[in-house]
Amino acid sequence: MNRPVTLFTGQWADLSLEAVAKKAKSFGYDGLELACWGDHIEIDKADQQYCNEKLNLLKKYDLQLFSISTHLVGQSVCDNIDARHKGILPDYIWGDGDPEGVRQRAAGEIIKTGIAAGKLGLNVVNGFTGSSIWHLLYAFPPTDPKMIDNGYKDFAERWIPILDEYKKINVSYALEVHPTEIAFDIETARRALDALDNHPSFGFNYDPSHLAYQGVDYVKFLYEFSNRILHVHMKDVTWSDVPKTSGVFGGNLEFGDNRRYWDFRSIGRGRIDFDAIIRALNEIGYNGPLSVEWEDSSMDREQGAAESCTYVKSVDFKPGSDAFDSAFSNE
């Protein structure tokens, strides 16, 4: 059996979980990756009875569950908090909007999310971390290296206590390496691990799309962090080979604008080499789900989600047990 193909529900949180489950099953998915927003997983309600009800709902549609995802709250643990965060956070996390209060409440919620994952029988929570130093990316005015050091120190001070709690309950946190996070490419992922002293409960939710348009070797990422790949997002992206009016930073243009240098695409319609990814996953021994995070502003999402499921199942393949030329040997 090939790896299970799941659908991340984050882009479907405007629908009830049952509505998404029904659609996902009709599209051919084997399971869901539940977002911790909408009614898909509500952490403030997640006692054992609530979690059992969610599992029973998925069972009704013969869907599996391998992870839950808390990108929105996770983003707020390390971020420089502003009005944007109010729009993505539950009211009880936002509170009065005091930045440090928001960060502390977000950290507490991440711990509760790990506990909820355990009640669901899971050992992986995916999400973001936020970053207090993302705004220093371009390094002008000139950035004192100590400012970057302090950003990683802040990250470690906020996340190690969370990860220590995760370790107690045998749950790991999988950071989706992504612009605006403390780790957004191979070099910063290395530095994040160093800052955490290679904490055993920290790893990565691999998503090639966020690496590719930056010019980062997204296949090398899998080999570089082979023992830290806890979950995999399948998402496609395209970028231009000819000059555009905006660059890698997006030009403050919305997704879907044809003036952008890069944009997300339905799987199989972009430039990601999924065959190379599957071969790398086979080599590093990853047997977990391939979770479709569907994003394509120019396409109907139901058509896109359905075709993405079909595409991922077609491109996935089992690793070989013997070298192809072993049959030539007389021994």
Task: Determine the pLDDT at residue 308.
Answer: 98
Q: Is the pLDDT of residue 331 over 90?
A: no
Q: At 98, which CATH number?
A: 3.20.20.150
CA 128 to chain centre: 7
Q: To which residue do tokens 């090398």 refer?
A: 220
Q: How confident is the model at residue 322 (pLDDT cuts 50, 70, 90)?
A: low
Model pTM score: 0.96
What is the per-residue pLDDT for 324?
A: 58
How many structural domains comprise the chain? 1
Q: What is the mean pLDDT of residues 149-177?
A: 98
3-state secondary structure of 109: helix
Could you tell me the CA-to-CA distances from 269 to 52, 83, 142, 231, 239 in Å, in that order? 38, 35, 40, 23, 12
pLDDT of residue 55: 98
Residue 293 has pLDDT above 80, yes or no: yes
* Amino acid in position 213: Y
CA separation for the pair 192, 61 (Å, rounded): 39
| Region 45-59 average pLDDT | 98
For residue 1, pLDDT over 70 is answered with no
Query: How far apart, in Å, do the first and last CA atoms of the chain sit?
Result: 30
pLDDT at 312 over 90: yes
Find where tokens 């957004």 sit.
Answer: 184
Nearest to 216 by CA among 245, 237, 234, 195: 237
pLDDT of residue 330: 65
Helix (H) / strand (E) containing 224:
helix 218-224
Task: Show the domain range for 93.
Answer: 5-328
Amino acid at 324: F
